[in-house]
Amino acid sequence: MISGTLSMLRRTTLRARNGVHLFHSLALQLETTNHDHESPEVSLAETNRLLFSYSRSNLNLQVLNLFLDNHRQGKPVDALTLSCVVKSCGYLSDWILGRQLHCCCIKLGCAADVSVGTALIDMYMKCDCVGDARKVFDFMPERNVVSWTSLITGYTQSGLPDVVVDLFARMQVEGVWPNSYTFASVLTSVAARGAVDEGKQAHAQLIKFGNQSTVFVCNSLMNMYSKCGCVDDANAVFESVENKDVVSWNSMIAGLVLNGSDLEALKLFCRMKLAGLKPTQLTFVTVIKLCAKLKDLILSQQLHCCVVKDGFALDVNILTALMVVYSKCGKMDDAFELFYAMSGARNVVSWTAMICAFIQNGDLHRAAVLFSQMMSGDVRPNEFTFSTILSASPIISPPQIHAQVIKTNYHNVSSVGTALLAAYAKLGSTQNALSVFRDIDMKDIVAWSAMMFAFAQAGDSEGAAKLYSEMNLNKVKPNEFTLSSVIDACASPAASVEQGKQFHGIIIKFRYQDAICVSSALVTMYAKKGSIENAQKVFERQSIRDLVSWNSIISGYAQHGYGHKALEIFKEMEAQGLKMDSVTFLGVIVACMHTGLVEEGNKYFDTMVKDHGINPTMEHYACMVDLYSRSGKLEEALNFIEGMPFRAGPMIWRTLLGACRVHKNVELGKFAAEQLMSLEPQDSAAYVLLSNIYALTGKWDERAKIRKLMNERKVKKEAGRSWIQIKNKVHSFLAADRSHPLSESIYEKLKEMTKRLKDEGYCADTDLVLHEVEEEHKETMLSRHSERLAIAFGLISTPQGTPLQIVKNLRVCTDCHTAIKMISKLEERGIVVRDSNRFHHFKDGSCSCGDYW
């Protein structure tokens, strides 16, 4: 066997030497003829032979130079000459010279020749002049299978697969039978469109015409079936091929990887090795990338040894793939060593892969340094580099990258634009993100979804809704991520629940209600918009629930005052053995906090730390402080703060200070206020709450000092404000506000409402008015709180029985809470008030909070 291989190698070498000898003999003959005027001129046939020899050796410039020399000397040419020269022009992608040659063909009367016409089609297609290629084809008086195949191949390579099937059918109608190359091009176009039915028809014709046994056609069939998701059909074709070449094995391995059959792909690679075939560079790259996906370090190291053994140790693509797999397996030192070993061979792909590796491993600083080194070198970043480095924001400043993106003209590319607008969105720069979005030429659904997400992050429901309408006008179909972002935007305080319901209808229309990200977003949106019943309905309909769904429904019930229901759902989650995170336990502790379940709250806090290994955040500690404080255990709350592993933040002290106001604890309140003022000297809460404590305990002089300190430090108190949405318009009210157009009717209703309340036994809690004024004036001040004005407006603006929903930026006071309970019974209305701390559902004279807030 070995001697036979050597004999074959000697024969091949001899033929190659003879070919080179003949080639140089012709070249020497021509050169001698050009410089020896006494020798006879080289014949046209010999010139053509030399042109074809140049062309076969891929010496296209020599082809053109020889032709131009002969043309200047007025030597004769024929159709064979021109077809060879035009073909070389196509390989050089010189469309200007190609057009000149086309004119020459017409002038010499050779344009009608089928070989010249075919060469012109091929040349125009290679120069991306598809329209010109089609004109040449349409005017050809005679077309053969090569002409048709050239046109079909050109359309396929130009990314216009839709035309190919029609041409293929028309070709057969005109009586031209396709060859193997025609079928290969058709199958490639079918694969690009995922049209498996058309692919199967082509396969049937292959069998009919007897071309199914050709190896490269079978390779095209495997590629087509793999890209159409029919991996079993691809494998059937693969197994039917008797003389498989390395392309066959590579195609099948790649097809298995594409369809998620990772283990089968590895088994096939082992079969390939056992069959005695030497893997190519493409084989190694595919299998090493598969190892990166599986994070299989051992196999990657074995493949690394094979790479060195088979002589690919310096191949930059293989080294880059190895670098990626090492970084994904946590071997950053090995990855960087490979990157360093590439030295001058590094290309943009290897630089980008190394930058991405640092980002994925959390080392944003080194990623930024590497990007700077790349920019200062000879390698220019591409769209993938920019998209990757932008994910390192804010370590990398988006405006700086933006300048580089514009400079390199990548700002119109969808992937780069999307990454850039996402980076601006992270910084809260929605307008900059929108500006980038507008600059993207061909916006894909990813770009639209990213911009929608930017509006959602900013809580801009109106912006998200307008963008969705614009997307609809552009006939872009939303996907589940687009719709989940719109729903997230609808969960913002400024949005109405009706807007969320409208998008819920759109979700049902597009049949995305079962998509986990969409249904989870709906649960969150309804819970945040005060419709906990609808949140529960969506939650119950979910066939699959992710952690977001469970967390949303637990937090929703907790915020709405249904603490016991929240704990029931948590126990159900616990019974199913689902993994929990810090958000889960935050919702549980909030449920205990709003229900006064101190012991349960302690238990769940300990469970989170000891059993689940979750480190508490500042929010967890603030909730625990609130839990102790609300139940009057202020000393325990202070001890808990002192036992924290880090310094208490403003949230903690604000919580304790608020509890001191409720329980009128002056000393502890003063201490908490001092701590809060030192951390946030411009926060009005510290001054207002402390002054309220002094007023409640009759320390008017101390209160005056605090008010004076506020004036000296120019601290502005946040005004209490309430909102209500009627017919898609938001109406805002301040205390004693008379700016509304219907102010007179509102106050008339308020007067009537106050009288009915008093008739039912309501007595204003004037102790809550912390001003030294007459009792009657105190009652008037209480009756004109912003939430009561909003309710009065809602009562006169909506039909009897319509539920009202109010949003307030501060906590509702005790007197308003009592009044709203009575109003809900007198007016026979459900009233939902979302204050700064929670939801209150008022109905039939009671509140969901159980008067514990």
Cβ neighbour number for residue 461 with a 10 Å cutoff: 24
Confidence of residue 210 (pLDDT cuts 50, 70, 90): confident
Same structural domain for residues 744 and 832? yes
Cα Rg of the chain (Å, integer): 38
The confidence score (pLDDT) of residue 6 equals 25
Which of 718, 746, 763 represents a domain boundary (last residue)? 718
* Residue carrying the six token digits 């329980």: 663
Same structural domain for residues 745 and 711? no
Same structural domain for residues 743 and 830? yes
Confidence of residue 383 (pLDDT cuts 50, 70, 90): very high
Same structural domain for residues 732 and 843? yes
Cβ neighbors of 316 (< 8 A, separation 6 or more) are 342, 345, 346, 347, 349, 350
Q: Count the domains in the chain.
A: 2
Same structural domain for residues 776 and 666? no
Is residue 137 scored above 90 in pLDDT? yes
The confidence score (pLDDT) of residue 21 equals 36
> Would you say residue 641 lies in a domain?
yes
Same structural domain for residues 818 and 744? yes
Which of 718, 737, 771 represents a domain boundary (last residue)? 718
As given in the structure block, the two tokens for residue 639 are 């001890």
> Would you say residue 753 lies in a domain?
yes
Domain hosting residue 822, numbered range: 724-847
> Would you say residue 231 lies in a domain?
no
The confidence score (pLDDT) of residue 773 equals 54
Length of the chain: 853
Cβ neighbour number for residue 195 with a 10 Å cutoff: 18
Is residue 14 scored above 60 in pLDDT? no
As given in the structure block, the two tokens for residue 779 are 């009652």
Same structural domain for residues 685 and 768? no
The gap from C-alpha 309 to its chain's centroid, in whole angstroms, comes to: 40
Same structural domain for residues 747 and 705? no
Mean pLDDT, rounded, for 835-840: 88
Q: Who wins on pLDDT, 574 or 777?
A: 574
The confidence score (pLDDT) of residue 209 equals 75
pTM: 0.71
The confidence score (pLDDT) of residue 7 equals 34
Strand partners, 839: 834
> Would you say residue 23 lies in a domain?
no
Which of 667, 684, 718 represents a domain boundary (last residue)? 718
C-alpha span between 553 and 533 (Å, rounded):
10
Confidence of residue 690 (pLDDT cuts 50, 70, 90): very high
Q: Which helix (H) or strand (E) holds 823?
A: helix 814-826
Q: Who wins on pLDDT, 665 or 34?
A: 665
Q: What percent of the chain has pLDDT over 70?
A: 94
Which range, of 44-58, 222-236, 581-595, 758-772, averages the lowest pLDDT? 758-772
C-alpha span between 149 and 85 (Å, rounded):
20
Confidence of residue 5 (pLDDT cuts 50, 70, 90): very low
> Would you say residue 327 lies in a domain?
no
Q: What percent of the chain has pLDDT over 90?
A: 58
C-alpha span between 439 and 434 (Å, rounded):
9
Contact of 796 with 787, CB cutoff 8 Å:
no
The confidence score (pLDDT) of residue 51 equals 87
Same structural domain for residues 790 and 739? yes
Cβ neighbors of 679 (< 8 A, separation 6 or more) are 649, 650, 653
> Would you say residue 348 lies in a domain?
no
> Would you say residue 732 lies in a domain?
yes
Strands 831-834 and 839-843: antiparallel
Same structural domain for residues 780 and 702? no
The predicted-structure confidence for 291-335, as pLDDT tens digits, reads as follows 999 899 999 999 999 999 988 988 999 999 999 999 999 899 999
Is residue 3 scored above 60 in pLDDT? no
CATH assignment of the domain containing 699: 1.25.40
> Would you say residue 590 lies in a domain?
no
Contact of 668 with 656, CB cutoff 8 Å:
yes
The predicted-structure confidence for 751-774, as pLDDT tens digits, reads as follows 999 999 999 998 887 776 655 555
Q: In what order do the strands lie in the sheet with 729-734?
A: 729-734, 721-726, 804-808, 831-834, 839-843, 846-847
The confidence score (pLDDT) of residue 42 equals 67
The confidence score (pLDDT) of residue 344 equals 76
The predicted-structure confidence for 140-174, as pLDDT tens digits, reads as follows 999 999 999 999 999 998 888 888 888 998 998 99
Contact of 113 with 85, CB cutoff 8 Å:
no
Kindly report whether the peptide bond that precedes residue 141 is cis, defined as omega within 30 degrees of 0.
no
Q: What share of the chain is helix, strand, coil (3-state, %, to 5)?
A: 70, 5, 30
Mean pLDDT, rounded, for 415-427: 92
Cβ neighbors of 324 (< 8 A, separation 6 or more) are 288, 289, 292, 335, 353, 356, 357
Cβ neighbour number for residue 92 with a 10 Å cutoff: 16
Average per-residue pLDDT for the chain:
88
Among the listed residues 522, 441, 440, the one whose alpha carbon sits nearest the alpha carbon of residue 480: 522
First vs last C-alpha separation in the chain:
90
The confidence score (pLDDT) of residue 624 equals 95
Same structural domain for residues 761 and 787? yes
The predicted-structure confidence for 335-353, as pLDDT tens digits, reads as follows 999 998 887 788 999 999 9
Same structural domain for residues 728 and 837? yes
The predicted-structure confidence for 709-747, as pLDDT tens digits, reads as follows 999 999 888 888 999 988 878 899 999 989 999 999 999
Strand partners, 806: 724, 833
